[in-house]
Structures are given as structure tokens and as C-alpha cells.
Structure 1
């Protein structure tokens, strides 16, 4: 997830700049934190892992790992930024916010949760479907030395590897006005890179749990994708708004029931309970589609390259040039 230091109002510019530079001011060099005897052992272990992952990313995946994640900031919160997403009541065409240099995005990031929720409430009052989600990391796309934070390292080893690779992909390639391309690319590359890292590094991994997580994620995506397709078909019709709203609500409830039934058969799927029991609307479903909608396409490119990253990046760069 990347945070952009701009916006349509001066107040938004102010909070973004203040929030980012507050983190930059608080950061401590990773080597100093690692060497400090008062640093908790789990924190030290994760920071050492970060260094190794950065070397792997640079050497084996052609990802830009220089000048990033060399500082650490301790935060007493679960997220670094909160992102607002919005979409019309009867469409999956997302609301976008446009910024200098990076184009338009389907979300807007805030360093204060309350500010994000106030923006979402304002948009909801205008008739938009809205969602506010906390992000544990963000990228400035190479403009700054992005810091590590407590929410980032408070993860399992494999999850931290995947997160770091995801964020580094954003530094490697970013296309203005193409959120789905950017996020799906980062999701696929990070997942494949994590599997390769785990195969050659001494990192304790419960492989059975990892496989259950994969099956649960696939079941989750099937459920969401099926409902999204049904809703898109509904929105393409010419029903009266009240009728469409009622059928939309019925499909959302059908999704919740399908999840509860599927969770009994798929181990690990219950971990997505918060998603299905929370806010479910066009904005929330768009968020999932942004991260996974093109993953299969990028997997096919990597497969056609025999799993070789230089070939993969050459073809993805060519694709990006066509989109720009």
C-alpha cells in the first residue's frame, strides 16, 4: 500500500506530510536497535530477518532494496495509515483521488484513523458505499527511505517476508492510474518470492498451516468473486433503485451464509470471519479485487518465463509501457 503526499485540500496535504515526517523523525537505525541489549529478542530476530530478505530481494528478484527499511519506528498501534475507499451504490467503478506525479488511486490514506472515518462518513452522506481499512505498511515509491514499524514486524516470519517483498515491488514498478495492476502484481510477486525464500532459508515454517492458509485464501476469493459477479450482473440491469437495493442486500446476506457454510468444510477459512461479518459493500469488495484481480495473469507470465525473474520483469515492463 502506498501513501501519497498530496490531495485535493490543503488539510489533506498537511496531515500526510506531518504524519510521514513524524515517522521519519522517530526512526532509529536498524543496526542500533539490533545491537541494543534492551531490544526484545523477538524484535531483534525480525529486524535481522528483514536485512536478509532485503539482500535476497536485491540479489535474486531484481527488486530495489537499497536505501529502504534501514530505520525502525516503535508504534503503539495496529496500523500505520488508514485508507478510505468508496464506490457508487450500484457500480464497481471506484471513486478515485488524483495526485501529482502518481496519477489517480482508488483510495486515500490518512495517518489518523479518526480523519479517515470522518472522510468516509462524509462520502457515505453523499450516497457512496465506503470502507475504511488500516494498513500496516506503506511505500513512498522510492522518494524516501521508508521505515520499518511495529505493525510490520509484529507478524510471523513468512508473513513479514511476503509483506516486505510486496512493498518492494511498488518501488520496482508503479503505473499511474492503475491500482489493480500495481497491487495484483505486488501480491503475485511477493507470494512467489516468499515461497522461494522459504525453500532456501532456515526459517521455521509450519508447512501444513501454510497450505491450509492457501486453501482458505482460495476459498475466500471464490466466495467474494462469485458475489461480485452476481452484483455486477445486477447493476447492469435497469431495475428501479429500491428493487436493486433490496436484491443487493439479499446477495450480501447470501454471501455471509455461504461463508458460514463453507467455513465448516475449509480449515482456516474462519479466519476471514471479520471480513464477512463486517462492512460488505462495493467499496470493500473492490479492495479485494484490487489485490487479487490480475494475480492469475501475472502468474501466467512468470510460468511462460520458466520462473525466471529477468524474463518476467522484461515482459511486465513492456506491458506497463503499453498501459502508460
Structure 2
């Protein structure tokens, strides 16, 4: 394929209790709620978007929190870990902060140019913080909870677990990613020139049990396309190569197509445009429940079915407009 992605757009996972999910990602990890909406395909549940101040592509972690959802199972055929990028010399602070919040954290592990701290969110989703020696120029969301010098810069990488690397590697290289490193059964691919926000690690687990997508697991991984015309060309190339791809779906803040890589993980191509300020101002992001036009006639019923969700005041500080 001739189209090449510039990196990760977002990762979407399944959660249980929405308030517990919001408290963890807003107050414990210090991200911002950049959009409170619903699952457009199942409006009986929220779709919560967390990211930096404006929700730029590459900083986004999103959730479908199905209250009372059963726990999922990590295994082959899915993304089994999501990593966030933090600055160097931040691991000690994060160990203390997460421990004080009641999160069980593993030891800091060093690998080549990275330090990694692993833990799980309240639903069991496998997460890690990665401090890479290559500086990450992205600015953190400064909400007064996590000091900006330690704050999360955005996504670092995702890990896909597969039975065999060859077919998955073929699709990733066809998407413009290149193999940059191999350590045993772990293959790292990077988009563009590499760096935080561009990596996917392919973990080869021959014969391992297949995963089950439910609470505490990743639903899909989205890759960036700059605009709709690029996305359309990319979709055409996938179809011509025999991949089953959805039609283009309007997600209000980006356009999406979905397909599965040969190992089984669900992937998405999402446009960078139009972004999260399409229907509310920057300072008010995430504050109100936003619905697409085709769901607005059902707003009263949708709001009545959704559980109450309280956001901390830090999500929408009263900042002067520059």
C-alpha cells in the first residue's frame, strides 16, 4: 500500500462502572475528559474520551463503560497492553503517586532507551508508563493534580498478541510502519521516524488462548489519517488487497473505517479532522453530554438511561482566553 500512517490516533477499551473509570483517568492519571458522548452504535452507554487539553490525535484513550460488564480475558487476537509516554526522571514520582492511590505497580524495568512502569486500571486493563530518552515534545494536560513536569504526554505504544508474526507484520509494513527492533518474541514497528506515539509491539505467543473482549480489554486501536481523502484512498487499497473493511462512519470528531489485522485485532483508520472543538469550546470540553444530530431527537430517553457522571472541577478550569 502507498499510504503511510503518522502514528496512533487513539485506543478504545471496554470498562465497567463509568464513574470509577472517569475518576481513575482524570484524577489518578491526570488526563482531561475531552468529550462526553455515547457509543453511536449502542447509545445506551457512554463513550468517554480522555487526552490532552484539546484531545489531539495520539493522546487519546477512550472507553465504552458498560455498567456491570463482565470481565474480559487477555489473549491472542487483541491488543493486550497500552502504554503512555512520560518524561525521563518521572518514574519515582509515578510509583509514589500510583501507590498512594491504591494502585498495585510493578518494579521499574529498563530496556534499551526506555524505562517502563506497569500497572492495571480498576477494570484490569493492562497499562504502562514509558519514559523514553527521545524527548516527547507534546505538552501535558496541566490540571493541578499531576505536576506538568511528570504529566502524561500522550500514547506511547500498543502491544498486539498474535499466534504468528508474519501476516500481522505484513499488514503493518503495508500501512507504512517499519520494523525497528526485535527482542526474542517481541517485534517493534514504528510509523514515520518513530518516537512516542508511533509504536506497536507485536508479541508472538504460539498456541496461547484467544482473548475475550469485555471489561478490562482493548476493543480497537486507531491509526491516524490526516484527512478524508487520504482515508478514502487507504480504504480503497485495503479493499483491493482483499481486506474486509467497513464503510466510512461519521464519528463527529473524526471519520472512521474498521478492519481486522490477520492476527485478529480490530484496527481503525481515523482522520485527524475535525477534532473535539467541532461542537463545544476548548474550555468546556467534556462538560456536557454531546450527541450527534441523528441521536438528538432521543436525548431525553438517552439521558434517562445513562448513569450520573460527575467530573472533577479540574477538568474545566476557569482560564482566561488568550
Shorter chain as denominator, the TM-score bin is under 0.3
Which structure shows the higher helix fraction?
1
Highest RCO, 1 vs 2 (Cα 8 Å, sep ≥ 6) = 2
TM-score (norm 1): 0.23
Normalising to structure 2: TM-score of the pair?
0.23
